[in-house]
């Protein structure tokens, strides 16, 4: 089986996302790009994550052509492919429908940074791409454009896309955006929010890259 371990990693990530409430039912989709072959392993369309086996994960190239797999790939395959084409630094993508992130995605505004962890891991505010039909090329294009060089973007009236240098990093970004969206929601209810400045966000992100974690 081509890229068996990578396929297992995609399943493991999808199940983690489901267990943490980042997705419900068969919503959301996950992929990784293999650095050696350049191929992408992506979740199949509409299958229960609890039942997915490695052979159900579809291997495609970054144009969306199926390399191996009998299943139909995610309907958001154009989205994943477009991001991989535009971002050579991205090797993992998580598209989630978590509650607070999706609420922000329905407000047509960026989410400011009031949580230091968001600055550390994601690097700054999270912008919202305008609504486009699910699974469309238009959605893929506008989402990749608004994402630009950032680590996450809200999809208007839809959900969140988080990216990373690997699938673990993309997953962590999705988690911290959801948690930050929750905290920001409550902070707005409590009173005036104290937003972390762009320059301070950059400093925190730089510090995290140099100091945080095991090297």
Host domain of residue 152: 4-211
Q: 42, 29, 50: which is closest to 3 by C-alpha?
A: 42
How far apart, in whole angstroms, are the C-alpha atoms of residue 67 and residue 79? 18
What is the model's pTM? 0.94
User: How many domains would you assign to the chain?
Assistant: 1
Q: In what order do the strands lie in the sheet with 159-164?
A: 66-68, 58-60, 40-42, 29-33, 92-96, 159-164, 152-155, 128-129
Residues sharing a CB contact under 8 Å with residue 154, sequence separation 6 or more, in sequence order: 101, 104, 105, 111, 126, 127, 128, 129, 160
Asked if 92 and 152 count as a contact pair (C-beta separation under 8 A), the reply is no
Q: Report whether pLDDT(170) > 90.
A: yes
Q: What is the pLDDT of residue 198?
A: 85
Q: What are 177's two structure tokens? A: 């955006």
Task: Look up residue 148 and give its two tokens.
Answer: 């630009």
| Per-residue pLDDT tens over the stretch 18-43 | 999 999 888 899 999 999 999 999 99
**Average pLDDT over every residue of 111-133:** 90
The CA radius of gyration of the chain, in Å to the nearest whole number, is: 17
Using an 8 Å Cβ cutoff, are 119 and 200 in contact? Answer: yes
Catalytic residues: 76
Helices and strands in the chain, H and E counts: 7, 8
pLDDT score recorded for residue 209: 78
Q: What is the CATH number of the domain that holds 61?
A: 3.40.225.10
Average pLDDT over residues 176-205: 91
Report whether 108 contacts 114 (CB < 8 A).
no
Work out the pLDDT band at 210, boundaries 50, 70, 90. confident
Give CA angle at 31 (10, 125), nearest 5°: 115
Q: Any bridge partners for residue 94, and if so which? A: 30, 162
Three-class secondary structure assignment of 51-62? CCCHHHCEEECC
Inter-residue contact 146 to 77 (CB < 8 Å): no
């Amino acid at each position: 089986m081509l890229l068996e371990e990578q396929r297992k990693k995609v399943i493991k990530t999808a199940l983690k996302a489901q267990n943490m409430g980042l997705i419900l039912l068969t919503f959301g989709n996950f992929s990784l790009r293999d650095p050696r072959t350049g191929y992408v392993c992506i979740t199949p369309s509409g299958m229960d994550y609890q039942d997915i086996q490695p052979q159900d994960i579809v291997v495609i190239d970054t144009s969306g052509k199926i390399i191996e797999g009998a299943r139909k790939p995610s309907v958001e395959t154009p989205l994943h492919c477009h991001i991989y084409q535009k971002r050579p630094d991205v090797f993992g993508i998580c598209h989630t429908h978590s509650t607070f992130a999706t609420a922000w995605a329905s407000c047509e505004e960026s989410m400011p940074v009031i949580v230091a962890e968001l600055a550390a891991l994601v690097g700054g505010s999270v912008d919202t791409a305008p609504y486009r039909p699910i699974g469309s090329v238009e959605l893929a294009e506008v989402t990749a454009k608004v994402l630009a060089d950032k680590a996450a973007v809200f999809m208007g009236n839809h959900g969140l896309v988080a990216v990373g240098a690997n699938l673990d990093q993309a997953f962590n970004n999705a988690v911290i955006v959801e948690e930050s969206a929750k905290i920001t929601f409550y902070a707005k209810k409590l009173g005036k929010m104290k937003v972390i400045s762009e320059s301070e966000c950059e400093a925190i992100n730089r510090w995290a890259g140099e100091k945080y974690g095991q090297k």
